[in-house]
Chains A and B, each alone.
Chain A
Amino acid sequence: MIERKERKPYWRHTKWQVLASLIPFLAIVIVLPLYAQQLNANRFLGFPLGYFLAAHGFFAIAVVTVASYVNRQNAIDHWHGAHEDT
């Protein structure tokens, strides 16, 4: 069980982690489709690059974002003793 004085630092740490995961991700959500037209002039694996980044690239970024968040947040939980008992 987490100690009382650890709660504040734990939550501050968590908030920063969430911002660090979400802000770059949401920025990509907005930016990628906007530049697709220009990027489409290039090719990757045969795909027009803009389409490839907005589809396959976005999928990869989403998976990496969640995976890194799970890993980091778990480490934060353990660091502050906020993790579950089992």
Chain B
Amino acid sequence: MTFGARARVVNPRLGTYFSIFAALFTALFLLVLIFEQLNLNESLLRLAFFAGPILIYAGIGLSVGSNDTLNYFAAGRRVPAAYTGLLLAASAMGATFLVAGTGVFFFAGFDALVLLIGTLTGLVVMAITLAPFYRKFGAFTVPSYLGRRFDSRPLRIVSAAVVAVPMLLVLSAELRMGAEIGGRLVAINPSFIVCVLALSVAIITGPGGKRSFTWAGVAQSIALFLALLGVATVVSVIITNLPIPQLANGPIARGLVRNEVNEGLQLINVWPLAFDLPGDGFAALTKPYMQPFGDVGVLSFGLAILSIAAGISTAPWLLPRVAATPSVYEARKALGWATVFSGLVLLTVSSVGIFMRDFVLDAVMSERLGPLPKWLFEAAAAHLVSFDQNAARLAFNGLHFDRDGVLFALPIATGLPQAFVYLLLAGALAGALVTAGATTVSLSAVLGEDVVQGMSWEPVRPDVRVWISRGFAGVVAVCGAALTIIAPTDPLRLVFWALSLTGASLFPVMILSVWWKRLTATGAIAGVISGFVTAAVAILMSEIGAISTPSPIAGTLALPVSLALAIGVSLLRQEMTRHTLEIVRDIRVPGGEIIYDREMQRLQLRKHART
């Protein structure tokens, strides 16, 4: 293992490599577009868009395999800020916020801004209070960080057990979402697609762990951005003549305000704790787009922002990402990029919602303007919308849209060729693979490092260490696939649960571990356990109807409990050692050695001295 910063120079050819990937992906799209016009077999084109990108990702993952510990667990600490930011943004949102998120914007309008505000707040809080310090510490997993920071093995094992749950939930959500998206591309059994996706995630992440995931994941994120921004820009040019989908839909939004109410959509004020975001499956529009608090109550709006923000800022599948940046300064910049990228995607998603609302409004008003628009029948044939096809006139309550199909209905509604739908599907599939990969890599590292070797700090031989985690990557992929097939649940709900569980159990302890010197190991254990148990109980009680707080945000109620216990137990008994005090002081200063590497070297020396 090398220590100086000079050994971690950034590869100067990164830009070239990923330009080649972007060109390949664009070429695939253009080829499919051409062949579609030449009336080539449609299922062949769909298969090309399903298998082609996955083969490229697998190729990238396999080509950067490595058995070196630093490469396997931290991508060699040489991932520049912009790439880290791209990955953070893509894996924070995943296919769930992209596909289900578009549906949520389409149905809930203003209320869907919880996703945008929550995600951005989470990233800003992470940038300011956690990321630079986590990078200075340099641990490969969140439980390793907590365990080393408090010099406590019980804390390490407890937090490993706790973080495994939300990561499995997110993995399952993304695989489910991926199966749904893949099912629109290739007509095979969804369970089989789940297995294919889990296998490809294992193949992509197995050879080089975080290093493989990083470079394959950057390619996947680029595919996601190209697909979403490309299609949205084309649609925006067609409808508004301006190539800025995020800003150009203003006049359309004004039209929505004026006409939706006339056509029968009324704002019904809900009670402050309501949280009725659209669930899985088909539903009719009930709420005007622009008015706030028709689906989500004021109080729930705040709680949901807190839940998403706390979850994202300490997510154990996102935070270790910054340990792979070359320096603390780069880690800070990476979060800036992540904010830019995720804001851009979520604003684009919101504009897709507005465009689709406009098309639906046209359809509803079509009785006076002419026959029903043709795209409705095409979208119905693609199972994106259902309505009475013999009706002469449709009201809003006669049109039922699939929440997870709104994004893919956009090119159909605009009258674009099918290739644009495939492009969006491939982009969304890439999003599912990024987040599935991020959770698989982090969870396998947690299981291999903190559970199996959790009882001892002394690391085993580097190659054994890597192979243990590699084995767990396969185990995690199998578990994720099994969970997805056995217990299919609404992906958006799963992600909400995962974020509130993470936020409640980790957020207070992680923040205090940097910003409050007196937090003790016992206090941290109390905070993590109480937060997790209270959040899990709150979610379960809400699911069976024992408490009235909706289950996606019920977990947040545990956050104050965890905070109070962590502080209270720490105040009871002081147990600060000179060593942990030294670590806290070092975390706070960007300069100097990476603490984790230094500690590992110290342990290695001690081991050598003994033998």
Interface residues of A (CB under 8 A from B): 1-2, 7, 10-11, 14, 18, 21-22, 25-26, 29-30, 32-34, 36-37, 40, 43-48, 50-52, 54-56, 58-59, 62-63, 65-67, 69-70, 73-74, 77, 81-86
User: Could you tell me the distance between the alpha carbons of A47 and B290 in the complex, rounded to whole angstroms?
Assistant: 9
B128 interface neighbour in A21, A30, A54, A77, Cβ under 8 Å: A21
| Pair A69/B332 contact, Cβ less than 8 Å | yes
What CA separation (Å) do A36 and B125 show in the bound complex? 23
- Does B305 contact A2, Cβ atoms closer than 8 Å? no
Chain B residues within 8 Å of A, Cβ to Cβ: 5-6, 110, 113, 116-117, 120-121, 123-125, 127-129, 132, 246-247, 249-254, 257, 290-293, 298, 301-302, 305, 327-329, 332-333, 335-336, 339-340, 343-344, 346-347, 350, 585, 588-592
Contact B5 A86 (CB under 8 A): yes
Q: A44-B250, A82-B590 known; 5 other A-B pairs, CB under 8 Å?
A: A10-B589, A22-B125, A77-B590, A77-B591, A84-B5
Interface-centre pick from A1, A30, A62, A65 (highest chain B CB count, 10 A): A62
* Minimal beta-carbon separation of A25 from chain B (angstroms): 6
Could you list some 27 contacts between A and B, CB below 8 A? A2-B589, A7-B588, A10-B588, A11-B588, A14-B588, A29-B305, A33-B301, A34-B298, A37-B291, A40-B290, A46-B252, A48-B257, A50-B110, A51-B110, A51-B253, A55-B116, A59-B347, A62-B124, A62-B339, A63-B340, A66-B123, A66-B336, A69-B128, A69-B332, A74-B329, A84-B591, A86-B5
Chain B residues in 8 Å Cβ range of A70: 127, 329, 332-333, 336
Residues in A whose Cβ lies below 8 Å from that of B116: 55, 58-59
How many Å lie between the Cα of A57 and that of B327 in the bound state? 31
Q: What secondary structure prevails in chain A residues at the interface with B?
A: helix
Name the distance in Å between B417's Cβ and chain A's nearest Cβ: 29
Cα-based distance from A59 to B340 in the complex (angstroms): 8
Tell me whether A63 and B336 are in contact in the complex, defined as CB-CB below 8 angstroms, given that A34-B298, A84-B591 are known contacts. Answer: yes
Q: Are A85 and B5 in contact (CB under 8 A)?
A: yes
The residues of A that contact B343 with a CB separation of less than 8 Å are 59, 62-63
Q: Which residues of A sit under 8 angstroms from B129, Cβ to Cβ?
A: 18, 22
Q: Report how far A59 CA is from B301 CA in the complex, Å.
A: 17
Given A51-B253, A62-B120, verify A2-B339 contact (CB < 8 Å).
no
Report the Cα distance A81→B591, complex, angstroms. 8
Contacts of A56 in B (CB 8 A): 246-247, 347
Q: Is the CB–CB distance between A2 and B335 below 8 Å?
A: no
A80 vs chain B, min Cβ distance (A): 9
**Which residue of the partner chain, among B132, B336, B589, contacts A7 with CB atoms under 8 Å?**
B589
Shortest beta-carbon distance from B224 to chain A in Å: 18
Given contacts A21-B128, A54-B110, A56-B246, contact A29 B121 (CB under 8 A): yes
Which of B120, B128, B253, B327 is close to A86, meaning CB atoms less than 8 Å apart?
B327
Interface class of chain B by DSSP: helix
B327 contacts across to A, CB distance below 8 A: 84, 86
Chain B minimum-CB-distance residue to A45: B250
Q: Which residue of B lies closest to A83 (CB)?
A: B591
Contact A47 B250 (CB under 8 A): yes
- CB B350 to nearest CB in A, in angstroms, measures 6
Distance of A25 Cα from B124 Cα, bound (Å): 9
Q: Which residue of A lies closest to B81 (CB)?
A: A70
Among all A-B residue pairs, the 7 with the closest Cβ atoms:
A46-B250, A59-B343, A46-B251, A45-B250, A62-B120, A86-B5, A66-B336
From known contacts A56-B247, A66-B339, infer whether A7 and B591 are also in contact, taking CB-CB under 8 Å: no
In the complex, residue of chain B having the shortest beta-carbon distance to the beta carbon of A74: B329
Q: Which residue of B lies closest to A60 (CB)?
A: B343
Q: Which of B254, B329, B347, B592 contacts A46 (CB 8 A)?
A: B254
CB of A54 within 8 A of CB of B5, answer no
Residue of B at shortest CB range from A32? B117
- Residues A36 and B292 in contact in the complex (CB < 8 Å), given A11-B588, A30-B302: yes
| Contact of B257 with A66 in the complex, beta carbons under 8 Å | no
CB of B389, distance to nearest CB on chain A (Å): 34
* A48-B255 Cα distance, complex, nearest whole Å: 11
Specify which chain A residues have a CB less than 8 angstroms from the CB of B290 in the assembled complex. 40, 48, 51
Q: Are B253 and A50 in contact, CB atoms less than 8 angstroms apart?
A: no
A62 and B254 alpha carbons, distance in the complex (Å): 25
Which among A45, A55, A77 has the greatest number of chain B C-beta atoms within 10 A? A55
- The answer to whether A43 touches B254 (Cβ under 8 A) is yes
Partner of A62, one of B121, B292, B589: B121
Within the assembled complex, what's the spacing in Å between the Cα atoms of A14 and B332?
14
CB distance from B559 to the nearest CB of A (A): 15
Known contacts A40-B290, A46-B251, A77-B591: does B125 contact A84 (CB below 8 Å)?
A: no
